[in-house]
């Protein structure tokens, strides 16, 4: 294999058994500033587009039987740049509807509450609906997000059970909740799973259990 410069991503080698592969979208202005980005539909930055291309190189050896993406622009563009322009849009992969927290940083919310804000513990309905944030929607509960991703997992397992790999292109908090659903644990544990922009995660099976085989993998 020819030597590649150290700044070039190295492709992962797919295992023999099928995997559910997760890809978070690339950087946006709000992900860079730490603002919660739920249903607000903003584009990737130039750096985010480059991250998406690198993720595509990382996953280049996979032959996915199914590729699904969030309907939001930042995810669909990431899927396209990663080499999957025909990814099927799945509404259940949209990011957590943050409602009154949308567009705010955790620090902003903490200052308004007068205490530290932890989204996986507090949810987003700690603030009243606001037309300036989330178009006045109350936002989703964590349990509602978990129910959505459970449907995604059920659909993915149909393909995994037939021996095919599945790629899901979506969002940070949504994918962290999905990991907890995959493992069958409390969705609040998603707070413990850090996930960077355009990072790859690998979910699979071991000893008849759902497992995490790789998490928060930057371009390899």
> Which tens digits make up the pLDDT trace of 116-163?
999 999 999 999 999 999 999 999 999 999 999 999 999 999 999 999
Mean pLDDT of 49-73: 97
User: Can you tell me whether residue 128 is helix, strand or coil?
Assistant: coil
CB–CB of 96/173 below 8 Å?
yes
The verdict on whether 91 is a catalytic residue reads no
pTM for the full predicted model: 0.94
Active-site position among 36, 95, 133, 173:
95
Select which of 25, 36, 84, 173 is catalytic.
Answer: 25
Give percent of the chain with pLDDT exceeding 90: 94
Cα 97 versus chain centre, distance: 14
Q: How confident is the model at residue 34 (pLDDT cuts 50, 70, 90)?
A: very high
DSSP, res 186:
-
Q: Is 194 a catalytic residue?
A: no
**In whole numbers, what is the pLDDT of the chain averaged over residues?**
95
pLDDT over 90 (residue 113): yes
Question: What does the buried/exposed string (b/e) look like for 51-69 if buried means 16 or more CB atoms within 10 Å of the residue's CB?
Answer: bbbbbbbbbeebebebbbb
Return all residues near 56 (Cβ < 8 A) that are at least 6 apart.
81, 82, 83, 84
């Amino acid at each position: 294999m020819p030597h590649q410069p150290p700044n070039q991503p190295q492709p992962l080698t797919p295992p023999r058994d099928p995997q559910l592969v997760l890809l978070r979208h690339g950087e946006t202005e709000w992900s860079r500033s730490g603002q919660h980005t739920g249903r607000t539909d903003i584009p990737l930055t130039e750096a985010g587009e480059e991250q998406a291309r690198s993720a595509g190189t990382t996953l280049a050896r996979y032959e996915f039987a199914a590729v699904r993406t969030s309907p939001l622009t930042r995810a669909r563009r990431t899927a396209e740049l990663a080499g999957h322009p025909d990814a099927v849009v799945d509404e259940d992969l949209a990011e957590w509807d943050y409602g009154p927290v949308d567009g705010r940083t955790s620090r902003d919310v903490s200052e308004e509450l007068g205490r530290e804000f932890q989204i996986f513990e507090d949810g987003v309905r700690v603030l009243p609906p606001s037309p300036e944030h989330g178009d006045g929607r109350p936002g989703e509960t964590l349990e509602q997000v978990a129910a959505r991703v459970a449907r995604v997992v059920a659909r993915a397992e149909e393909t995994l059970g037939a021996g095919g790999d599945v790629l899901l292109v979506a969002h940070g908090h949504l994918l962290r909740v999905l990991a907890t659903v995959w493992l069958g644990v409390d969705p609040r544990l998603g707070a413990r799973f850090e996930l960077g922009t355009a990072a790859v995660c690998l979910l699979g099976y071991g000893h008849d259990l759902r497992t995490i085989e790789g998490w928060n993998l930057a371009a390899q």
